[in-house]
Each structure stands twice: as structure tokens, then as C-alpha cells.
Amino acid sequence: MPRERTFIMLKPDAVQRGMTGKIIAKFELKGFKLCAMKLCQPGKAHMEAHYADLASKKFFPSLVEYMISGPVCAMVWEGDDAVATGRVMLGATRPADSLPGTLRGDNCIDVGRNIIHGSDAVEAANAEIALWFSPSEVLSWTNHSAEWLYEMPEPKPVATKPVYAESAQNAALDARLSNCMYLGGNQPSQEDAKVSAAIKAGEQDMPTLKYPNAFAWYCMASKFQPTRTAAFAAGAAAVDDAEDDLDEDDLFAEDSDEAAAAEAKDLAASLRGKAFEAKKKAAAEAAGKAPLEAKSLIIYEVKPVDDETDLQVLGKRILAEINQDGLFWKTEFKTAPIAYGIEKLIIGATIIDAKVSTDDVQDKIEEMEDIVQSFDIQSFNKL
């Protein structure tokens, strides 16, 4: 299996200032391995998908417009602790808060022109890599310098072949996905509307698209992946039995039958849960009783602006300042290491779903920008 990967994107200001080579050199000198890179100018729909977690922010429209105003350089870097170390190399979001020696600390002044984006968690990195690159564009290769970078030898990439037989329709889809204009395409509004209508209608047959629009194909791949994988599994009997042992070495395990089955199981469980809640609510209303309020347990990760931030003070400030009906903070919290002596705060809360929006909690925590760099949800469980 490859080492940890992170997604790094040089923003239009970095490309315009001719900093691409300098930044690549920084990551190479650090010892990270470049696995994918493309210079491109993505469309609006693609950039909105990339920054979907900021869609509720007032600056979202201007951010998207700026990010599509010129070319960007998208990259995938690989190495131990690539995500956390990459974020340290970037520096704080606000250049004024970035330490000397970081890319932003040495090369930026304005937060609106902070030259670079980097994934803030492994899960986010995986999602961003999948959004920007097709699987065939992300290479697995052996770095001859690895033995001088790591005490443990670097695993060699294993050649694999498909463990399923594809139908003509699936092969055609894969060909269009790999050959399409992944970050743009023609007539995006017509294509996206067509796919959106098919998804809302719950159709199981893929609509025929005239233009290779990336956003539309991305939606289609997400929508129809379980159906496609089930079709592939049905033809697996025609595949040589020796391929059964390839699963554990599959470099793209998300396409395996096991992953598809797990996804289908999770979806079925979710649908059963929603049906049960609706049935319980209807029964309570029929009996003249108030239905029980749905609750969730959320574990938050709060990253400080620097290693001098007192996490105990940060935790107490969150408990004291962020209060509303339906939000119940856990009085105990803990810390966990990130990298280079910097730690993050782990804090939990129980919320009443109908009364508390996780976006509202996030906004209030991020308003503490004097001591908070970023905020993530570690886990979200229904009670």
C-alpha cells in the first residue's frame, strides 16, 4: 500500500507569480514523492464542489470567482504524515500568523492571496484527490532515495488487473471518465441539469450526455457506482480464479466488491433508520404523545493557531462562550498530537438535531480566529 497522500493546490496568485517550481522544490527537498500534477483552469461547478464546506460563508462567491480567474497547479504528494506535515509547511491561513520558514510566512501578506491550499485531514485529502484526479492519473512508483528517507523500506507498487468483467456500457463509461475534460467541459449547465434530474428521479439508467462535463460525470460516478460494481460482480465467474487473491493488494480498493457491499449495507441501514424514525413518529402522533427528540453525539477537533496556545484555556472558552438550547458540551476534553509539538483539542457534545446546526457551532468556533486555526468533525453518531 502507498504511504499517506495529501492534496496540494497552488492558487492563481502562486502560478502568476512564478512560484510553482520553488514550491515543488520545497516538497521534494522535504522528501515527499510527487505522484500527480496538472496545470489547469477549472470551471465554476468544480471549484464549488472543492470548497463545498465553505458554501455557507459570505466570502464563498468571491472565493470561487477568484479561484477560477486563472490557472492553478493541482498536485498529489506522498510520504509519512504527508497531510499534517504539509499543513505545517504551508503555515497558518492568515499570513500574518504564519511562522518564518513556512510558504505563507515567507511569501504572503494578504489572506486573500495566500498562494496555496493543502488538505487538513487524511479523509479530506482522499476526497480532494478523487475530485481532481482520475485513478489512472495518480501514479505509484518507487523513489530510489526512499532508503535514505525512511528507516523502513518503501513498498513496491503491485501490478493488478480487474477482478470483474465489465459490460460494454461500463467500459464505455470508464473510457469517457478517463478521457473527459476532467476539470471543465462544454455546456456545463445543460449537462449538470440532466444528471441532477436523473438523480432526483431515482433513475437507475445512466442518462446519455453529449458533452464530457466533469461535474456531471463526477455526480454520475457517485450515483451509479454501487449499480456498476454489482454488475461487475455478476460477471466475475468468467475471471480466472487466481485473481481472487488480488484484493488485499488492490491499489484502488474503493472499486472492489467488498467496498461496494459495505457501501450498499450502510445505505440500507440508513434507509431503514429513517423509515423506523418516521414510523415511530407517526405512532407517537397517533397516540397523542410527543415524539422523542433525535439526538447526536459529535466529537470535534479544534486546531490552534500555534504551539503556544493553551488548549485548556481554549476548551474552557468554547464551553463558556458557545451555548444554545439543545447543545450539551462534555465537561471533560483531551488533546492529541498533530506534528512538531503542536497538539489539537478533542471535545465532545450531544446535540438535539432539530435545535442545533453543526454549521452554527462551526461558525462560532471559527470566530475565535485569534486562537483557532481550523475545525473538523472527528465523528458524528446518532443516539
Residue numbers annotated as active site: 117
Could you give the angle at the alpha carbon of 252 between the alpha carbons of 247 and 254, nearest 5°?
Answer: 85
Q: Could you give the count of Cα atoms lying within 13 Å of 222 in the half-sphere of its Cβ?
A: 13
Give the DSSP H/E element, type plus range, for residue 198. Answer: helix 188-200
Give the gyration radius of the chain's Cα atoms: 23
Residue 7 φ/ψ, nearest 5 degrees: -100, 125
d(CA 140, CA 256): 18
Secondary-structure percent of the chain, ordered helix, strand, coil, rounded to 5: 50, 15, 35
d(CA 215, CA 189): 10
| CB-CB neighbours of 49 under 10 Å | 19
Please, is 128 exposed, middle or buried when counting C-beta atoms within 10 Å of its C-beta (0-12, 13-18, 19+)?
buried
Q: Which three cell numbers stand for residue 18?
A: 512564478
Please, is 14 exposed, middle or buried when counting C-beta atoms within 10 Å of its C-beta (0-12, 13-18, 19+)?
buried
d(CA 48, CA 44): 6
342 to 299, 314, 339: CA distances (angstroms): 19, 14, 5
273 dihedral zone (left: phi>0; alpha: psi -120 to 50; beta): alpha
CA-based diameter of the chain, in Å? 72
69 to 40, 44, 182: CA distances (angstroms): 11, 10, 18
User: Contacts from 152-155 at CB under 8 Å and sequence distance 24+?
Assistant: 154/3, 155/1, 155/2
